[in-house]
Amino acid sequence: MRFTINLATRRYLDLRSLDVALVLGFLVFGGLLVVRVAEIGSNQGELSRLRSVTAKSAPAAPAGVSEAQVKVVAAKVALANSLIRQKTTDWLGLLDALEAVVPSGVALGQIQPGKVVGINGVAKGYPELQHLLENMQRSKSFSDVYLLNQTETKVGLTQSGLTFNLTCKVTY
Protein backbone atom coordinates (compact mmCIF):
# COMPACT_ATOMS: atom_id res chain seq x y z
CA MET A 1 0.00 0.00 0.00
CA ARG A 2 1.39 3.34 -0.97
CA PHE A 3 0.39 6.52 0.87
CA THR A 4 0.45 9.70 -1.16
CA ILE A 5 -0.29 12.02 1.77
CA ASN A 6 2.10 12.38 4.66
CA LEU A 7 -0.13 13.32 7.64
CA ALA A 8 2.85 14.03 9.86
CA THR A 9 4.12 16.94 7.77
CA ARG A 10 0.90 18.81 7.05
CA ARG A 11 -2.65 19.02 8.27
CA TYR A 12 -5.12 17.21 6.06
CA LEU A 13 -8.62 18.64 5.78
CA ASP A 14 -11.15 17.66 3.17
CA LEU A 15 -12.47 21.11 2.31
CA ARG A 16 -14.97 19.83 -0.24
CA SER A 17 -16.80 17.66 2.38
CA LEU A 18 -16.68 20.51 4.89
CA ASP A 19 -18.20 22.91 2.35
CA VAL A 20 -20.99 20.46 1.51
CA ALA A 21 -21.79 19.94 5.22
CA LEU A 22 -21.86 23.70 5.86
CA VAL A 23 -24.10 24.39 2.87
CA LEU A 24 -26.51 21.63 3.94
CA GLY A 25 -26.57 23.00 7.49
CA PHE A 26 -27.29 26.54 6.27
CA LEU A 27 -30.07 25.23 4.01
CA VAL A 28 -31.72 23.34 6.90
CA PHE A 29 -31.50 26.31 9.25
CA GLY A 30 -32.71 28.66 6.50
CA GLY A 31 -35.71 26.42 5.88
CA LEU A 32 -36.51 26.36 9.61
CA LEU A 33 -36.21 30.14 9.70
CA VAL A 34 -38.67 30.53 6.83
CA VAL A 35 -41.16 28.18 8.53
CA ARG A 36 -40.91 30.10 11.84
CA VAL A 37 -41.33 33.50 10.16
CA ALA A 38 -44.41 32.22 8.32
CA GLU A 39 -45.80 30.86 11.58
CA ILE A 40 -45.24 34.19 13.35
CA GLY A 41 -46.94 36.05 10.51
CA SER A 42 -49.91 33.67 10.66
CA ASN A 43 -50.17 34.12 14.44
CA GLN A 44 -50.08 37.92 14.10
CA GLY A 45 -52.89 37.82 11.53
CA GLU A 46 -55.00 35.57 13.75
CA LEU A 47 -54.34 37.83 16.75
CA SER A 48 -55.44 40.97 14.89
CA ARG A 49 -58.56 39.17 13.62
CA LEU A 50 -59.46 38.07 17.18
CA ARG A 51 -58.89 41.58 18.53
CA SER A 52 -61.25 43.05 15.96
CA VAL A 53 -63.90 40.43 16.73
CA THR A 54 -63.68 41.03 20.47
CA ALA A 55 -63.74 44.81 19.99
CA LYS A 56 -66.98 44.52 18.00
CA SER A 57 -68.65 42.22 20.52
CA ALA A 58 -67.49 43.96 23.71
CA PRO A 59 -70.36 45.29 25.84
CA ALA A 60 -70.70 48.96 26.56
CA ALA A 61 -68.89 50.28 29.62
CA PRO A 62 -70.95 49.83 32.81
CA ALA A 63 -72.19 52.79 34.74
CA GLY A 64 -69.87 54.07 37.47
CA VAL A 65 -69.88 52.38 40.85
CA SER A 66 -70.36 54.67 43.81
CA GLU A 67 -67.91 54.87 46.69
CA ALA A 68 -70.55 53.57 49.12
CA GLN A 69 -71.14 50.45 47.03
CA VAL A 70 -67.39 49.75 46.96
CA LYS A 71 -67.21 50.07 50.76
CA VAL A 72 -70.17 47.71 51.24
CA VAL A 73 -68.61 45.06 48.99
CA ALA A 74 -65.21 45.46 50.72
CA ALA A 75 -66.86 44.96 54.13
CA LYS A 76 -68.62 41.80 52.91
CA VAL A 77 -65.34 40.45 51.50
CA ALA A 78 -63.53 41.17 54.79
CA LEU A 79 -66.26 39.36 56.74
CA ALA A 80 -66.11 36.35 54.42
CA ASN A 81 -62.30 36.21 54.69
CA SER A 82 -62.43 36.32 58.50
CA LEU A 83 -64.99 33.48 58.56
CA ILE A 84 -62.82 31.41 56.22
CA ARG A 85 -59.75 32.00 58.42
CA GLN A 86 -61.67 30.89 61.52
CA LYS A 87 -62.99 27.70 59.92
CA THR A 88 -59.81 26.54 58.24
CA THR A 89 -56.82 24.89 59.83
CA ASP A 90 -53.32 26.24 59.30
CA TRP A 91 -51.91 22.88 58.23
CA LEU A 92 -48.42 24.18 57.57
CA GLY A 93 -48.21 25.71 61.04
CA LEU A 94 -49.62 22.57 62.67
CA LEU A 95 -47.27 20.23 60.81
CA ASP A 96 -44.26 22.46 61.49
CA ALA A 97 -45.07 22.46 65.21
CA LEU A 98 -45.50 18.68 65.21
CA GLU A 99 -42.27 18.17 63.29
CA ALA A 100 -40.40 20.06 65.99
CA VAL A 101 -41.65 17.82 68.82
CA VAL A 102 -42.09 14.30 67.38
CA PRO A 103 -39.00 12.20 68.18
CA SER A 104 -37.67 9.27 66.17
CA GLY A 105 -39.47 6.05 66.99
CA VAL A 106 -42.89 7.75 66.92
CA ALA A 107 -45.22 7.72 63.90
CA LEU A 108 -48.35 9.83 63.77
CA GLY A 109 -51.23 8.12 62.00
CA GLN A 110 -54.11 10.57 62.25
CA ILE A 111 -54.50 14.25 63.09
CA GLN A 112 -57.98 15.59 63.84
CA PRO A 113 -57.93 19.40 63.73
CA GLY A 114 -60.26 21.61 65.71
CA LYS A 115 -60.13 23.77 68.82
CA VAL A 116 -58.64 20.72 70.52
CA VAL A 117 -56.43 18.67 68.21
CA GLY A 118 -56.67 14.89 68.43
CA ILE A 119 -53.61 12.85 67.49
CA ASN A 120 -53.38 9.07 67.03
CA GLY A 121 -50.10 7.31 66.48
CA VAL A 122 -47.70 4.50 67.23
CA ALA A 123 -44.50 4.56 69.32
CA LYS A 124 -41.76 1.94 69.58
CA GLY A 125 -42.00 1.86 73.35
CA TYR A 126 -42.72 3.80 76.52
CA PRO A 127 -39.54 5.95 76.41
CA GLU A 128 -40.41 7.29 72.94
CA LEU A 129 -43.99 8.06 73.97
CA GLN A 130 -42.77 9.79 77.12
CA HIS A 131 -40.27 11.80 75.08
CA LEU A 132 -43.09 12.93 72.74
CA LEU A 133 -45.29 14.04 75.64
CA GLU A 134 -42.42 15.90 77.33
CA ASN A 135 -41.50 17.67 74.07
CA MET A 136 -45.11 18.75 73.55
CA GLN A 137 -45.44 20.04 77.11
CA ARG A 138 -42.17 22.01 76.81
CA SER A 139 -43.15 23.50 73.46
CA LYS A 140 -44.75 26.93 73.25
CA SER A 141 -46.98 25.67 70.42
CA PHE A 142 -48.82 23.04 72.48
CA SER A 143 -50.79 23.31 75.73
CA ASP A 144 -53.15 21.06 77.66
CA VAL A 145 -51.49 17.87 76.40
CA TYR A 146 -53.47 14.84 77.62
CA LEU A 147 -52.76 11.18 76.87
CA LEU A 148 -56.19 9.63 76.47
CA ASN A 149 -55.30 6.04 75.67
CA GLN A 150 -52.31 3.78 75.16
CA THR A 151 -52.36 0.13 74.26
CA GLU A 152 -49.59 -2.32 73.60
CA THR A 153 -49.79 -3.79 70.11
CA LYS A 154 -47.90 -6.64 68.50
CA VAL A 155 -47.32 -7.16 64.81
CA GLY A 156 -46.15 -10.66 64.06
CA LEU A 157 -43.97 -12.51 66.53
CA THR A 158 -41.12 -10.04 66.92
CA GLN A 159 -42.48 -6.51 66.50
CA SER A 160 -44.33 -4.66 69.22
CA GLY A 161 -45.19 -1.08 70.00
CA LEU A 162 -47.64 1.28 71.65
CA THR A 163 -50.72 2.70 69.99
CA PHE A 164 -51.71 6.00 71.59
CA ASN A 165 -54.34 8.72 71.43
CA LEU A 166 -53.78 12.20 72.79
CA THR A 167 -55.37 15.62 72.67
CA CYS A 168 -53.86 19.07 72.92
CA LYS A 169 -54.45 22.71 72.11
CA VAL A 170 -52.25 24.22 69.42
CA THR A 171 -51.17 27.83 68.97
CA TYR A 172 -49.40 28.67 65.73
Do residue 166 and residue 95 come from a single domain?
Answer: yes
Q: Where are the alpha helices (DSSP H) in the chain?
A: 15-57, 67-87, 91-101, 126-138
Q: What percent of the chain has pLDDT over 70?
A: 89
- For residue 27, give its domain range: 14-52
- pLDDT tens for 120-170 read 999 999 999 999 999 999 999 999 999 999 999 988 888 889 999 999 999
Q: Domain containing 163 — which CATH number?
A: 3.30.70.60
* pLDDT class of 10 with cuts at 50, 70, 90: low
What's the alpha-carbon Rg for the chain, to the nearest Å?
A: 37
Residue 137 lies in a domain: yes
Q: What is the pLDDT of residue 157?
A: 82
Same domain, 97 and 163: yes
The reply to whether 130 falls in a domain is yes
pLDDT for 91 equals 84
Q: How far apart are the first and last CA of the chain?
A: 87
- Is 4 within the bounds of a domain? no
In a domain, 29, yes or no: yes
Same domain, 163 and 99: yes
User: Number of folded domains in the chain?
Assistant: 2
Backbone angles phi, psi at 22, to 5 degrees: -65, -45
Q: Which residues contact 131 (CB under 8 A, 6 or more apart)?
A: 103, 106
Pairing of strands 117-123, 106-112: antiparallel
Q: Note the pLDDT tens digit of each residue in 42-69.
A: 999 999 999 888 888 766 545 677 888 8
Q: In the listed set 35, 52, 69, which residue is the last one of a domain according to the structure? A: 52
For residue 27, the Cα-to-chain-centroid distance in whole angstroms is 44
Q: 37, 52, 67 — which closes off a domain?
A: 52
Domain annotation covers residue 134: yes
Burial (CB < 10 A; 0-12, 13-18, 19+), residue 136, is: buried
User: Could you tell me if residue 66 is inside a domain?
Assistant: no
Q: How far is CA 3 from CA 6, 7, 8, 15, in A?
A: 7, 10, 12, 20
Distance between CA 169 and CA 172 in Å, rounded?
10
